[in-house]
Amino acid sequence: MGTRHLGRELALKALYQIDLRGGSSTEDLALFFEAFPADDVARKFAVSLVTGVHGDQVALDKQIADVLEHWSIGRLSRVDHNILRLAIFELRRMEDIPARVTIDEAIELAKTYGDQESGRFVNGVLDQVAARLSLKDKGEESNPAKPHQV
C-alpha cells in the first residue's frame, strides 16, 4: 500500500470521526493519529487533507450538490460524502496529483469503506465535477507514458 493511499485512508477515517463526534482541533487530530499509527509522510499527507477539507468544506459541498441529480447531500452516506470531499479537494488544490489518480483512489476507498454502489456513485460524481472544473486531464500533460497530441 502506498504512502498517499494510507494517508487518504487516515484522512477519511479522521473526517468520519469529526462528522460523528465533532472536534477537529490539533489535539483531536493528534489523539486520532495515536490510535491509527502510520509513518510520518502518510500522517503529514493525511493532516494536509483533513485540514484542507475542513477549511474548504462549504465550497466542496456546493460542488457536490451542484452535480447531484435527484439526490441531496443530506441523503449521502457519511463515508461517500467524505470521500467526495477528499477527492474534490485533491482535484482542486493538489496540483502534483493527476486527476485520474485522485479519482481512482477515491473509487478504491469507496469500494473498501462504502456500500456495494459506492464505487460507481463516487466515480460518476467525480467525473462530473472534474468535467465542470475542466480538470479531467489534470496532470496528464506531464505523463511521459502518454503521447502528446499535436
Closest C-alpha to 8, from 98, 76, 81, 108: 108
The CATH number of the domain covering residues in 3-135: 1.10.940.10
Separation of alpha carbons 44 and 104, rounded Å: 21
Tens of pLDDT along 54-89? Answer: 999 999 999 999 999 888 899 999 999 999 999 999
Average pLDDT value for residue range 134-150: 65
43, three cell numbers: 500522517
Q: Which residue has the cell 451542484?
A: 66
Tens of pLDDT along 86-132? Answer: 999 999 999 999 999 999 999 999 999 999 999 999 999 999 999 99
Domain ranges of the chain: 3-135
Closest C-alpha to 46, from 73, 85, 13: 13
Closest C-alpha to 126, from 150, 90, 72: 90
